[in-house]
Chain A
């Protein structure tokens, strides 16, 4: 009989376990303030983004519709769009959002019980310890994912003007959909990152057993993971395309640049500065930094047998990359949740 110790759904006496759905009320009653706090914060942010987003979209429409782009009115319209809402420009300030949601909902989930001692109440009720943990984790994960998904729909709408195909030609701000700071705010990735932050928080809480320390550890672990993925991992989801074309669209995500001489690798990412002065006439090498001047230098190099290569990920891969990133983040979250349940069930309290 004692061999049945551990997670068994049917007790040795054939007694039916307490129904899972009872945890809905329990979870709501215990976490309603945290959930309401999150809803209030996200609701405020969403309202603000909605208001300024409408102005951003109006400014963009005006800039796009303007005829004779060099006219004063059009230059004004373009600079109006380009200078709007610098706070949210490029998505940088929204990057910590998944970590904040995940840490403030996920980290206290077990850490508070362990810190205040209420786990000795919760884990000795008939519902059972691992079932209690799993039910809470899944219910709150659903809440967190739903909130994040709603936010990412709003972000997708808000940032859409920056991905317009004609932006570069009109000197309007343009980003690649694969840009490190915008990619994970849109599509399914935002919800996936929020879920993983929640799962990290739950595990950190179970291991560290202190709310504040678990919060700090969650933020640190999430930041490290997000930076590592953005800098080193994401660009390798699919083999990048290579080209010597100079007029890559602004939607392409350039992940590498290097030079070849007569077909073999020469320099990366740039040749030494004095080489340009030796190969090219001074009129070409001048101090200017405009695109045409830059292209003139490259053409001069080309005549000497050099070629300038780009590795890039085309914007058409956006949804493939979203699927890959969301997929492995989901798998990682499932693993973290399983680890959390294991820790709760097996570690001495």
Chain B
């Protein structure tokens, strides 16, 4: 089952395409990170997934084929929007009560326990909580709904480092313990390295990379060798990003499981998630899209 599946999805605001030609399938059971620079279309894609925005072209389904924004989809998805919108004049307790009233499932006791652990006073107005507390309250509300998919848009923007750590720990625990799929967007790459096991990289409104982190890391290497030979090999290899410092060249290369292509005299080093993502972000024309997403595009086009 795909928690989110997009086919030829595009959204235009006025004359600007915020997202275009997006085909994507994120399987269930992952903590999927949606990464890209500001303005890449992350928020647009997430808003499309929860039905707040309707597609200009293409389609998007969630939770195994439910139309985005349909009652069944909204029932199974908890969404925390960017900047964590809460009713500032309602107390934390009221926000719990409100969310309980608006949903079929709500675990009141778990929510109250979590707020107590976080030292968030139930009686304080949401508008008078700190940014970090607001984010935690919004996450608490979302988790108490017992969703099958948790969507978080830039959840850590308002958090200090300690709060970020605690926040992500909660998300990870929930994902593992309760089998909740998570889709979260961020432009802070370092945050995601520890938690994400599926990566979607958006750039300029297009999907550039989509795949499981393990496979992506296994499929890429940094080749280090003499700078003089770099250009020669670059033609044969799927070079994502080349960087040369003096006599040595660092080529980040997509291997496609073909270790034999390491040129003689070069060393192959494994690559980190942050390094991989940065390399792609620096080269907007490079792409690493897995089979399934590609095939759906063809099917739609045909």
Contact = CB atoms under 8 A, between A and B. Distances in A.
B85 A118 contact: yes
B265 interface: no
Contact of A18 (B70, B88, B104): B104
Contacts of A346: 54
A239 interface: no
B71 interface: yes
A265 to B, nearest CB: 57
A2 B101 contact: no
A127 B87 contact: no
Contact of B70 (A5, A33, A118, A120): A5
Contacts of B75: 11, 15, 126
A225 to B, nearest CB: 32
Interface string B40-79: 0000000100111110000101000111011110110101
A111 B90 CA distance: 18
Given A5-B67, A129-B69, A30 B90 contact: yes
A339 B85 CA distance: 26
B90 A29 contact: yes
B74 A124 contact: yes
A132 B102 contact: yes
Nearest to B89: A33
A348 to B, nearest CB: 5
Contact of B59 (A2, A9, A26): A2
A24 to B, nearest CB: 9
Contacts of A118: 85-87
Interface string A154-171: 000000000000000000
A124 B142 CA distance: 10
A33 B87 CA distance: 14
Given A5-B67, A116-B85, A117-B81, A13 B102 contact: no
B298 to A, nearest CB: 20
Contacts of A11: 70-72, 75
Nearest to B70: A5
Contact of B81 (A1, A12, A121): A121
B97 A127 contact: no
A9 B13 CA distance: 30
B180 to A, nearest CB: 16
Contacts of B90: 29-30
Contacts of A17: 71
A67 B261 CA distance: 120
Of A25, A120, A346, most buried by chain B (CB within 10 Å of CB) is A120
A8 interface: yes
A1 B54 CA distance: 17
Nearest to B90: A29
Contacts of A128: 71, 74
A11 B77 CA distance: 14
A-B complex: 8 closest residue pairs judged by Cβ atoms: A11-B72, A120-B81, A125-B102, A126-B103, A5-B67, A117-B85, A22-B101, A127-B102
Interface of B: 11, 13, 47, 50-54, 59, 61, 65-67, 69-72, 74-75, 77, 79, 81, 83, 85-90, 94, 97-99, 101-105, 138, 145
Given A30-B87, A126-B102, 10 more contacts: A16-B104, A29-B98, A116-B85, A117-B85, A121-B87, A124-B52, A126-B105, A346-B54, A348-B13, A349-B52
Interface of A: 1-2, 4-5, 8-9, 11-13, 15-18, 22-23, 25-26, 29-30, 33, 116-129, 132, 346, 348-349
16 contacts: A4-B67, A12-B66, A16-B104, A17-B71, A18-B102, A22-B102, A118-B85, A119-B52, A120-B81, A126-B75, A126-B103, A127-B101, A128-B71, A348-B11, A348-B13, A348-B52
